[in-house]
Chains A and B, each alone.
Chain A
């Protein structure tokens, strides 16, 4: 329901709506991927209210390169700008570096998604490049920024091994 809200979807890759059944199939597919170790998709739940407010994931896990791609969406807009995205991102970084033993976590973010870019920089991602004019949205082209975070940088910035 929330995902079909355009204000959210403008920051994500796909602009076409999803049906309930498609979403159920997708959830099942994440279990399979998780077993294979190719991607780890999590729901983001608010502790007090137990309300599901979003999702985040490490996808495209490369076993040899020890790298993965990070993605996140808080699809309940009531919960934007309250630090939930920041904490969820930090939890995923800890999971990726401390539990999955990854060496590099990278992400892409749209030029106009300033809220997300701010969060990523705050938690320690570095902008390392961009795909020029890679996105067509609302009648014009935009850049897509590439950000990444290496394990050694992570351990420097978050010295005590946080328990999940």
Chain B
């Protein structure tokens, strides 16, 4: 468990599945995520079980984002596609409970993920991809130290048209540098 001031990143349990399924099947949440296909409770339970296995192998670290007060699961996040030789991983994050959007909680969760990736897993680079119209997320990534490094043009088809995906990354040295300056 990685505890912050407002939220804690913790492992997912099977008992979390109903809340995750209920929230993720909301299209307003899902329109910023890769898949618009609904998920079933059983699929989600399988996905959680699979995440334990991948965590043991060190290939994927999936966390629940839990509000500290009151204790409540408000989202999920993770470091995916962990490459051991290149020491890099991809961030995925979603606050699936819309009540908790725009309160700085996603920012803190992202910072906790960076701490986990750079200070505990010894990664060299952490990257992510975000939809061009997901301004809220782009603002957060810029704030915590990511740089926009490229574009995957027309990579996503949604709402009847193609949209771009922006690529962001941050290197370990940049992360440590901003920690020293106290801006992380």
CA distance A110 to B84 in the complex (A): 32
Asked if A60 is at the interface of the complex by the 8 Å CB criterion, the answer is no
Chain A residues 54-103 with CB under 8 Å of chain B are 63-66, 99-101
Q: How large is the interface on B (under 10, 10 to 19, 20 to 34, 35 or more residues)?
A: under 10
Asked if A37 is at the interface of the complex by the 8 Å CB criterion, the answer is yes
Residues of B close to A66: CB separation below 8 A: 87, 122
Quote the shortest CB–CB distance from A77 to chain B (angstroms): 35
Asked if B120 is at the interface of the complex by the 8 Å CB criterion, the answer is yes
Q: In the complex the two chains form, is A37's CB within 8 Å of B122's CB? A: no
Residues of A close to B87: CB separation below 8 A: 66, 101
Quote the shortest CB–CB distance from B80 to chain A (angstroms): 16
Q: In the complex the two chains form, is A101's CB within 8 Å of B122's CB? A: no
Q: In the complex the two chains form, is A101's CB within 8 Å of B85's CB? A: yes
Quote the shortest CB–CB distance from A2 to chain B (angstroms): 32
Chain A residues 111-145 with CB under 8 Å of chain B are none
CA distance A100 to B120 in the complex (A): 19
Quote the shortest CB–CB distance from A152 to chain B (angstroms): 14
Q: Is the interface of A mostly helix, strand, loop or mixed?
A: loop
Q: In the complex the two chains form, is B58's CB within 8 Å of A63's CB? A: yes
Asked if B41 is at the interface of the complex by the 8 Å CB criterion, the answer is no
Closest B residue by C-beta to A63:
B84
Quote the shortest CB–CB distance from A115 to chain B (angstroms): 32
Quote the shortest CB–CB distance from B92 to chain A (angstroms): 20
Quote the shortest CB–CB distance from B100 to chain A (angstroms): 32
Closest B residue by C-beta to A61:
B84
Residues of A close to B58: CB separation below 8 A: 63
Asked if B86 is at the interface of the complex by the 8 Å CB criterion, the answer is yes
Q: In the complex the two chains form, is A65's CB within 8 Å of B84's CB? A: no
Q: In the complex the two chains form, is A101's CB within 8 Å of B121's CB? A: no
Residues of A close to B85: CB separation below 8 A: 37, 99-101
Closest A residue by C-beta to B122:
A64
Q: In the complex the two chains form, is A65's CB within 8 Å of B122's CB? A: yes
Closest B residue by C-beta to A103:
B122
Q: List 15 A-B contacts (CB under 8 A).
A: A37-B84, A37-B85, A63-B58, A63-B84, A64-B120, A64-B121, A64-B122, A65-B122, A66-B87, A66-B122, A99-B85, A100-B85, A101-B85, A101-B86, A101-B87
Instruction: Please give 4 more A-B residue pairs, beta carbons under 8 A apart, in addition to A64-B122, A66-B122.
Output: A37-B84, A65-B122, A100-B85, A101-B86
Nearest first, the 8 closest Cβ-Cβ pairs linking A and B are A63-B84, A64-B122, A101-B85, A37-B84, A63-B58, A100-B85, A64-B121, A66-B122
